[in-house]
Structure 1
Amino acid sequence: MAQWGQLQMLDCKYLEQVDQLYDDSFPMDIRQYLSRWIESIDWDTVADQDSLATVRFHDLLAQLDDQHSRFALENNFLLQHNIRKIKRNLQDRFQEDPIHMAMIISKNLKEEKKILDGAKNRQDIPLTSMLSE
């Protein structure tokens, strides 16, 4: 099971820790909607290479456009609005410094892993999710 899916199965005390990782600089909405894509990228490598960070930044914007289109097909005006707003904010914040975005994503993924590991060590993860890894 993907990391984001495992996190969502955790107890509230762990979800509060996850909540603290995300803010306006990189909203949790993006993590939710693009979880598979985000987890498929080696963000440590991206954060070390300016040209690769620029490519991944534009890939992320394209992923948001795709998500916007899905919401349009569902006639979900509010989520379309939110995605447009998130995209504008990301462009304003990271267009000139895409490495910073990659560093945030890399750090958040590592922190999520620590939260999951902590829950596993305390055996606060349902047995079924541990078996499916």
Structure 2
Amino acid sequence: MLRTICKGKIHRAVVTEARLDYVGSITLDRLLMKEADILPYEMVQITNIANATLWKTYALPASEGSGTVCLNGPPARHFQPGDLIIVLSLAQITGAEYDTIHPRIVHVDHENQIIKIERHSLHALRKDGQT
């Protein structure tokens, strides 16, 4: 059986741009992607805190340290500059892989600069011994 887990998260990032004329995706500061364990063209889930819009698209890197969080194409209708969002990187894993995953939560300030990174051990969180 495969389980879908959160392997990385960018928490409360601020949308800096919304470009309807682009073909799609979310463009993210390369450093945020790295720290949240998101690879270029990896599918991510984005939630708009203001209006509860949930969107899935692929991530593209912007310049490291730029603070860029740009929704491109159709999601530009639902995510506007200034909106707070959560970006989740998901993985499908087997029970045997569970204890090897260390999700990262990247906290950012109002300019999308990293203020804290949490690293979690799923093994330590497991209490019931399930596999």
State the TM bucket, normalised to the shorter chain. Answer: under 0.3
Give the number of the structure whose residues are more often helix, by fraction: 1
TM-score (norm 1): 0.26
TM-score normalised to the size of structure 2?
A: 0.27
Structure richer in strand, relative to its length? 2
